[in-house]
Amino acid sequence: MQAGKLGQRVVIERLVQGQGPIGQPINEWVTLATVWAAVEPLNGREFFAADAAQSEVTTRIRMRYRDDITSADRIDHEGTLYDIQSIINPRSGDAELVLMCKAVGG
């Protein structure tokens, strides 16, 4: 993976569950890592192919390989939040990750 292609900063966030001062449950998104990535909105053909598979994937995010990301995490890119729909390790090479994501909210 060429570093020059990873020109955007993204924040990987994880939902942490805890308790408030009177014991009420509190869920909070905390930063797991800030990394360089390539954020690629799917083009029309890719989007319709993904939709045919009954997916809501709208964006592909490429980054260097990490073994600590799960589909329960989310990505924040310049204020846009993305739910991770699937995590792909191309050729099982542990060199890069491809996250297929869906934008959250409006």
Other CB atoms within 10 Å distance of the CB of residue 29: 14
d(CA 96, CA 93): 7
User: What is the residue-averaged pLDDT of the chain?
Assistant: 86
Give residue-wise pLDDT tens across range 36-57: 999 999 875 555 555 555 457 8
pLDDT at 19: 84
8, 24, 40 from 12: Cα distances, Å: 13, 26, 16
Q: Which residue has the tokens 């954020």?
A: 39
Specify the CATH superfamily of domain 3-103: Bacteriophage SPP1 head-tail adaptor protein (2.40.10.270)
Q: What's the pTM? A: 0.80
pLDDT at 92: 87
Give residue-wise pLDDT tens across range 65-100: 999 999 999 999 999 999 999 999 998 888 999 999
Write down the H helix ranges in the chain: 44-52
